């Protein structure tokens, strides 16, 4: 059954000139049929340089929007419109505008895990990999509003040594990773390196050997001489880590660290998306251009 699905997907992909992108947190079988696997911005940049006419993004809504921001002339498909991001939904346009009124002149740094309208209302975007560099690029005399993830903001504030005005948003999946999980696994696997995502809480990050973005985790594991790793992020990434490092062992920091929205995409939905050309992402041009400016400012750093 799965072989049949994969064969049909491959056939339609060639016929319709489609590039399939999958985020590191997607189901293993979805990652396996993708042309590129990575984080949202890296994938969007790769898609923009391909000759493909259609981008099928296996991820969540804000990721498909990011692809459309950078590739307005291409059709961007999201297999399931219900695949939203709870973190991205924790700030509204009205709330952001109110916060900007409270801090006139402040620079708004917006994490890519946000809706296109929020990006359009921001000054500059950041990823978990470059948040520190983005904040460090802002003049010292400027106040900075960091949205929407308070834990990435807290981590960035400490590393960059800058006071940030934080929004009270968070990733519910990363909050399921607790210090006691790390302690238990460290007792069981004392030689294991602890690698966590900066969306984790401060106490978890302080117990880790490294706090890295998803692509940072992939790179670190590949280059590390360690053979055992405790991975503190959404567990979908472990499929890729095992695939690329078969001689190494990986232990999820919490079995509960599964994003239900990331797992909404299935092979069946990928096939249906290709057959029916659903669901197409559309962005109003004025909003897209404003959001693009915030993304481009980040890419320049």
pLDDT at 1 over 80: no
Q: Assign residue 161 the CATH number of its domain.
A: 3.40.50.10800
From 139, 170, 201, give the residue that closes a domain.
170
| 79 and 7 in a common domain | yes
Long-range (24+ apart) CB contacts under 8 A made by 165-168 are: 165/99, 165/103, 165/106, 167/90, 167/91, 167/99, 168/90
Residue 153 maps to a domain: yes
| 234 and 208 in a common domain | yes
| 184 and 166 in a common domain | no
Residue 58 maps to a domain: yes
Residue 301 maps to a domain: no
Residue 295 maps to a domain: no
Q: Would you list the DSSP string of 118-156?
A: HHHTSSEEE-TTTHHHHHHTS-TTS-EEEESBHHHHHHH
What are the pLDDT digits (tens) for 47-85?
888 889 999 999 999 999 999 999 999 999 999 999 999
Residue 184 maps to a domain: yes
Q: Which domain holds residue 220?
A: 174-252
| 80 and 116 in a common domain | no
| 29 and 95 in a common domain | no
Residue 125 maps to a domain: yes
pLDDT at 194 over 90: yes
Distance of CA 45 to the CA centre of its chain: 14
Number of domains in the chain: 3
| 78 and 98 in a common domain | no
- pTM of the predicted model as reported, rounded to 2 decimal places: 0.95
Residue 188 maps to a domain: yes
d(CA 18, CA 270): 12
| 162 and 98 in a common domain | yes
Q: Would you list the DSSP string of 234-259?
A: -TTHHHHHHHH-TTSEEEES-TT---
The upper half-sphere exposure of residue 80, i.e. CA atoms within 13 Å in the direction of its Cβ, equals 19
d(CA 143, CA 107): 6
What are the pLDDT digits (tens) for 13-43?
999 999 999 999 999 999 999 999 999 888 9
| 237 and 189 in a common domain | yes
Residue 289 maps to a domain: no
């Amino acid at each position: 059954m799965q072989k049949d699905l994969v064969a049909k997907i491959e056939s339609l992909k060639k016929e319709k000139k489609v590039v399939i992108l999958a985020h590191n947190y997607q189901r293993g079988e979805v990652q396996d049929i993708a042309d590129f696997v990575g984080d949202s911005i890296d994938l969007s940049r790769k898609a923009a340089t391909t000759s493909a006419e259609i981008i099928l993004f296996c991820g969540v809504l804000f990721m498909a929007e990011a692809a459309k921001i950078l590739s307005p002339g291409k059709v961007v498909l999201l297999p399931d419109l219900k695949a939203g991001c709870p973190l991205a939904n924790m700030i509204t346009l009205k709330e952001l505008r109110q916060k900007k009124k409270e801090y006139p002149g402040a620079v708004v740094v917006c994490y890519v895990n946000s809706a296109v309208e929020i990006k359009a209302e921001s000054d500059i975007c950041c990823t978990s990999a470059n948040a520190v560099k983005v904040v460090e690029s802002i003049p010292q005399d400027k106040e900075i509003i960091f949205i929407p993830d308070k834990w990435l903001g807290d981590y960035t504030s400490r590393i960059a040594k800058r006071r940030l005005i934080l929004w009270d948003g968070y990733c519910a999946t990363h909050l399921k990773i607790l210090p006691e999980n790390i302690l238990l696994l460290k007792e069981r696997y004392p030689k294991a390196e602890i690698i966590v995502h900066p969306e984790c809480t401060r106490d978890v990050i302080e117990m880790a050997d490294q706090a890295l973005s998803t692509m940072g985790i992939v790179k670190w594991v590949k280059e590390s001489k360690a053979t055992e790793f405790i991975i503190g992020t959404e567990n979908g990434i472990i499929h890729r880590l095992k695939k690329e490092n078969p001689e190494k062992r990986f232990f999820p920091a919490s079995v509960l660290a599964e994003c239900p929205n990331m797992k909404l995409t299935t092979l069946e939905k990928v096939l249906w998306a290709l057959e029916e050309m659903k669901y197409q992402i559309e962005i109003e041009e004025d909003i897209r251009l404003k959001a693009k400016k915030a993304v481009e400012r980040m890419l320049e750093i």
